[in-house]
Amino acid sequence: MKFFIDTANLDEIREAYDLGVLDGVTTNPSLMAKEGITGEENILKHYKDICDIVDDNVSAEVIATDYANMIVEGERLAAIDDKIVVKIPMIKDGVKAIKYLTGKGIRTNCTLIFSAGQALLAAKAGASYVSPFIGRLDDVSTDGLELIEQIVHIFQTYGYGTEVLAASIRHTMHLIKCAEIGADVATCPLKVITGLLNHPLTDIGLEKFLADYAKGNK
Ligand code: G3P
């Protein structure tokens, strides 16, 4: 399973990359705004800065919501760097834009997926990734993990090349369950990735190993 980090914070991206387990980055307009990145020029430069840190797979989201402007914006984003994956919202014009950009050899990530039908449409349009938001489904008492399972099953049944990118991951159990279910990618905040490190028995065990070593090597 690929690990993406879901942030526009360069320090967090560097920290996850330095750990040696990072396969990509997802951002969205809310995450860019959180970092205070505003204005088209600054936003494009920030995407380039992210691309300079990681090896591949930097999702950059379009703001336009109509087909004509989506494809112009998508091509502009894709021109920043070969690592860019253009993120397109799951709306009617978005599906058309995915089809167009795919035809141009530009990778796409269809975002704001909340149903299997939406994922199927995006896959048929040729999306490289679909991003079901599991935490936001859980927020409204709907099992987000069940949706991941359903989409993985459909894509496997028909052999779609579209990868299932589990998004809106809130905690380590989401991530582990996504791995069990067979999600191709999970995009998470840094604290979820580093949270996988933690186990009290590891800390206790290491403390004892070091204490025993110290006793024998005085
Ligand atoms: O990848 C989508 C993500 O940024 C949304 O997460 O926690 O705002 O639902 P959240």
* Number of neighbours of residue 127 by Cβ within 10 angstroms: 32
State residue 33 phi and psi, 5-degree precision.
-65, -35
Residue nearest to atom 10 of ligand 1 (CA): 168
**CB neighbour class for 205 (10 Å; exposed up to 12, middle 13-18, buried from 19):** exposed
Catalytic residue, from 2, 45, 83, 87: name it.
Answer: 87
Amino acid, res. 68: A
Residue nearest to atom 9 of ligand 1 (CA): 168
Q: What is the pLDDT of residues 79-94, one digit of tens each?
A: 999 999 999 999 999 9
Q: What is the pLDDT of residues 108-165, one digit of tens each?
A: 999 999 999 999 999 999 999 999 999 999 999 999 999 999 999 999 999 999 999 9
With residues binned 3-state (H G I as helix, E B as strand, rest as coil), the percentages for the chain, rounded to 5, are: 55, 15, 30
**In the numeric block, which tokens belong to residue 210?**
């070091």
Predicted pLDDT of residue 207: 98
Contacting residues for 63 by C-beta, under 8 A, at least 6 apart: 29, 73
How far lies 161's CA from each of 60, 68, 109, 209, in Å?
Answer: 21, 26, 13, 47
Q: Judge if the beta carbon of residue 133 lies within 6 A of ligand 1.
A: yes
Global pTM value: 0.96
Predicted pLDDT of residue 218: 85
* Least confident stretch, 17-21, 181-185, 214-218: 214-218
State residue 54 phi and psi, 5-degree precision.
-105, 170
Rg of the chain over all Cα atoms, to the nearest angstrom = 19
Atom of ligand 1 nearest to the CA of 170: 7
Residue 99 is a catalytic residue = no
